């Protein structure tokens, strides 16, 4: 198989890890170009992986030695780079979120439909995690009966000092917004943020925790506890409650110690290890899909649906009441 030449924009924590995965763990791809607006970071990665360095992400996207692009730069840059990839008719895997607002996502939907080709995949990698996949199968095979609610917790040990209140939704809870609608095969009707007693240890000036409560069109409830910093660990919990039973996302397997009259199981402190296998599966499936000209992962529509919901949650925090989740009608192209 001819190798897919991938250009990576953003060589920070996840960008570097994705370059490593594409180079060493994923078949059928090679990283030919990298860019980051902190140029030294990208130059180092370019040297290590024998890729070309680009000072400008737009030049990387246009380069003939780049067949497809992975965007792993910071959230505010995603929409613009995704649009540029579509205009160049190149497949793009954009890390979550697809954009910071629903209106920017709409521009992406419009541009992709104009291209008449599915070019965009969004980095909702939890859909490739074996635990979530098992949960989805259990819901779909009916063993749990009709799903009534999902209880999620997204607890972070740490976020950088410049972290803002809205990012708890657009950057953190966005994972749960996507995975819950995927698990339920349902869409959100309304969304609300409830005030919670604040964690006095929060390391910067933002609301922490926040509690999001959503209702789906079929009437199920999704409850998301978001702790952005200073939780006891990096801990992701998800429980689907159905009429006939409940199913829980498995914890990562760790040795279970018994000593000094108590038991102990270590927890993780950061996101990078928690879904490590899912990232590789995600990238492998994306590369396979691009080779076959048939990208089937989370689409621009999924990125849009999550962003519309995030917008409603942010508005609700300000108005203090539930807000409708109002999407445009789903175009035939995304059905």
Ligand X SMILES: NC(=O)C1=CN([C@@H]2O[C@H](COP(=O)(O)OP(=O)(O)OC[C@H]3O[C@@H](n4cnc5c(N)ncnc54)[C@H](O)[C@@H]3O)[C@@H](O)[C@H]2O)C=CC1
Could you say which residues in the range 174-233 bind ligand ISE, by CB under 6 A? 175
Rounded to a whole number of angstroms, the CA Rg of the chain reads 20
**First-residue to last-residue Cα distance in the chain:** 30
**CA distance linking residue 28 with residue 262, whole number of Å:** 48
Q: Note whether 94 and 303 are within 8 A (CB).
A: yes
Query: Which of ligand ISE, ligand X, none interacts with 156 (beta carbon under 5 to 8 A by kind)?
Result: ligand ISE
Among 35, 82, 156, 208, binds ligand ISE (CB under 6 A): 156
Query: Which of ligand ISE, ligand X, none interacts with 172 (beta carbon under 5 to 8 A by kind)?
Result: ligand ISE
| Residue appearing with tokens 């919990």 | 237
Query: Which of ligand X, ligand ISE, none interacts with 77 (beta carbon under 5 to 8 A by kind)?
Result: ligand X
- Return the axis-axis angle of helices 13-24 and 276-291, rounded to nearest 10°: 60
Beta strands 235-242 and 246-248: pairing type? antiparallel
Q: Residues 85-124: x/- map of binding to ligand X (CB under 6 A)?
A: ----------xx--------------------------x-
- Examine residue 73 and tell whether it contacts ligand ISE (CB under 6 A): no
Q: For residue 284, which phi and psi values (nearest 5 degrees)?
A: -65, -45
Query: Which of ligand X, ligand ISE, none interacts with 123 (beta carbon under 5 to 8 A by kind)?
Result: ligand X
Nearest distance in Å: CB 222, ligand ISE: 17
- Examine residue 75 and tell whether it contacts ligand X (CB under 6 A): yes
| Residue appearing with tokens 């965007």 | 71
Residue 146: CB partners within 8 Å, gap ≥ 6? Answer: 242, 243
Could you say which residues in the range 230-289 bind ligand ISE, by CB under 6 A? 271
- Examine residue 171 and tell whether it contacts ligand X (CB under 6 A): yes
Residue 82: CB partners within 8 Å, gap ≥ 6? Answer: 71, 92, 94, 98, 99, 108, 120, 300
Among 72, 247, 310, 312, binds ligand X (CB under 6 A): 72
* Binding residues for ligand X (CB under 6 A): 9-15, 35-38, 41, 57, 72-75, 77, 95-96, 123, 125, 171, 271
* Binding residues for ligand ISE (CB under 6 A): 156, 171-172, 175, 271
């Amino acid at each position: 198989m001819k190798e897919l030449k991938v250009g990576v924009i953003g060589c920070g924590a996840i960008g570097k890890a994705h370059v490593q995965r594409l180079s060493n763990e994923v078949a059928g791809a090679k990283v030919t170009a990298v860019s980051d607006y902190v140029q030294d970071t990208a130059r180092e990665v370019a040297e290590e992986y024998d890729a070309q360095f680009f000072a400008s992400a737009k030049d990387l996207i246009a380069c003939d030695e780049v067949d497809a692009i992975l965007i792993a730069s910071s959230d505010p840059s995603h929409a613009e780079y995704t649009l540029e990839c579509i205009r160049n008719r190149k497949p793009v895997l954009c890390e979550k979120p697809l954009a910071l607002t629903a209106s920017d996502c709409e521009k992406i939907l419009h541009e992709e439909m104009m291209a008449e080709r599915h070019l965009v995949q969004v980095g909702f990698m939890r859909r490739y995690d074996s635990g979530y996949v098992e949960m989805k199968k259990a819901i779909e095979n009916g063993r749990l009966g009709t799903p009534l609610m999902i209880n999620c917790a997204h607890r972070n040990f740490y976020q950088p000092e410049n972290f803002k209140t809205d990012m708890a939704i657009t950057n953190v809870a966005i994972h749960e917004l996507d995975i819950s609608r995927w698990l339920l095969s349902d869409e959100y009707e309304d969304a609300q943020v409830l005030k919670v007693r604040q964690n006095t240890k929060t390391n910067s000036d933002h609301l922490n925790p926040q509690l999001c409560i959503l209702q789906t069109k079929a009437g199920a409830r999704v409850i998301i506890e978001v702790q952005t910093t200073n939780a006891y660990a990096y801990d992701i919990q998800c429980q689907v409650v159905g009429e006939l039973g409940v199913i829980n996302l498995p914890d990562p397997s760790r040795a279970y110690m018994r000593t000094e009259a108590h038991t102990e199981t270590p927890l993780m402190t950061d996101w990078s290890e928690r879904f490590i296998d899912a990232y590789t599966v995600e990238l492998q499936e994306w590369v396979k899909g691009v080779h076959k000209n048939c990208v089937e992962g989370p689409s621009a529509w999924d990125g849009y649906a999550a962003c519309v919901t995030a917008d409603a949650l942010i508005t609700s925090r300000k108005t203090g009441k539930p807000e409708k989740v109002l999407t445009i009608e789903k175009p035939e192209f995304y059905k």
